[in-house]
Amino acid sequence: MSIGYKMKIAISGKSGLVGSKLEKMFQLQHNEVVGLKVRDNTDVETLSKEIEKCDILINLSGTTILARWSDSYKKKLYDSRINTTKKLVEAMSLCKEKPKLFISASAVGIYKSDEVHDDDSEVYADDFLSHICKDWEAEAQKAEDLGVRSVQTRFGVIYAKEGGAMQKMLPPFKMGVGGKIGSGEQIVSWIHIDDLLRAYEFIVKAPSISGSVNFTAPYPLSNSEQTVILGNVLKRSTLFTVPSFILKLIFGEGSTVMLDSKEVIPTKLINNGFVFNYEKFEDALKDIVQ
């Protein structure tokens, strides 16, 4: 599926898994892709010149959440997302020819656990990750005041051959020492990287879509169900369990990323006609381990 005409696309956070894959996809369609490096000392005027005449600005910047959250690391998590987004919006405000679309990342961590959420849900968690996501999205939405369509992509767990969560999950299962995490009852909302890339492309071509959009597959599942499927597909034992307290010892508050239950449905994508290639976790897993 091609966009239809050559575009200039600027990506902040281009070196990560999603950014590098987006760059490749857009370049194969003969679009020009520009990488933006936004640092604490990045000059907004200089940034605006890089963004000038871009059709699309994509924001993926942010320190990884899969780490131990010390107080200093929490500051990095927050600043790397909120301050970068502030600068990008400020840079856009200085452009004579502003981007037509600003797509900024967010996460399903915004939602309260143990409830079902569509894109319009405002039942948010009362924790640090949700606090980051709310502030992150609020900064991104300010692009609307500039006349720029703004979309906030709420990522579920991203599964890919080349990296992300699956790279950490597969080795223990392949060695036969994999198993559920904690109680295993927590719901995992996930998406295959190929569907995530196609969803970006879909949003570019769907001008009616704005605001928060859940980037998750239609069928979330529990960690226990996921574990059974991993065992069956890999033909390995799944008798082991990673106790919650071990994860809390290793990751501290960051363990919430693995232990919280997030049941999130991509209603906006589905209602606008997006078709997932990988609706079920088993199909996504088979593709990844091939």
User: Concatenated DSSP letters for 180-222?
Assistant: EETTS-SEE-EEEHHHHHHHHHHHHT-TT--EEEEES-S--EE
- Average pLDDT value for residue range 146-166: 94
pLDDT of amino acid 194: 98
Structure-model confidence comparison of residues 33 and 1, the more confident one? 33
pLDDT of amino acid 2: 45
Reading the block at residue 139, the tokens are: 């900064």
Determine the Cα–Cα distance for residues 10 and 50; give it in Å rounded to an integer: 8
Helix-helix angle 281-289:223-234, to 10 degrees: 40
Determine the Cα–Cα distance for residues 142 and 211; give it in Å rounded to an integer: 11
* Strand, coil or helix: 262: coil
pLDDT of amino acid 1: 39
Cα 39 to the center of its chain, rounded Å = 21
Q: Is-contact 121 72, C-beta < 8 A?
A: no
pTM as predicted: 0.95
Q: Is-contact 209 151, C-beta < 8 A?
A: yes
pLDDT of amino acid 4: 58
Distances (CA, A) of 159 to 89, 155, 191, 255, 278: 30, 11, 6, 19, 11
Reading the block at residue 67, the tokens are: 């780490």
What percentage of the chain has pLDDT greater than the value 70?
Answer: 98
- Average pLDDT value for residue range 283-287: 96
Residues 17-58 have pLDDT tens digits of 999 999 999 999 999 999 999 988 889 999 999 999 999 999
* Strand, coil or helix: 102: strand
Domain positions in the chain are: 8-159+190-216
One-letter amino acid at 91 equals A
Q: Which CATH number fits domain 8-159+190-216: 3.40.50.720, 3.40.710.10, 2.40.30.20, 3.40.718.10?
A: 3.40.50.720
H runs (alpha helix) in the chain: 17-28, 44-51, 71-94, 128-141, 165-174, 193-204, 223-234, 244-251, 256-259, 267-271, 281-289
- Average pLDDT value for residue range 108-127: 97
pLDDT of amino acid 167: 84
What percentage of the chain has pLDDT greater than the value 90?
Answer: 83
Distances (CA, A) of 129 to 66, 162, 224: 12, 25, 24
Average confidence score pLDDT of the chain: 94
Residues 55-110 have pLDDT tens digits of 999 999 999 998 999 999 999 999 999 999 999 999 999 999 999 999 999 999 99
Reading the block at residue 192, the tokens are: 């295959």
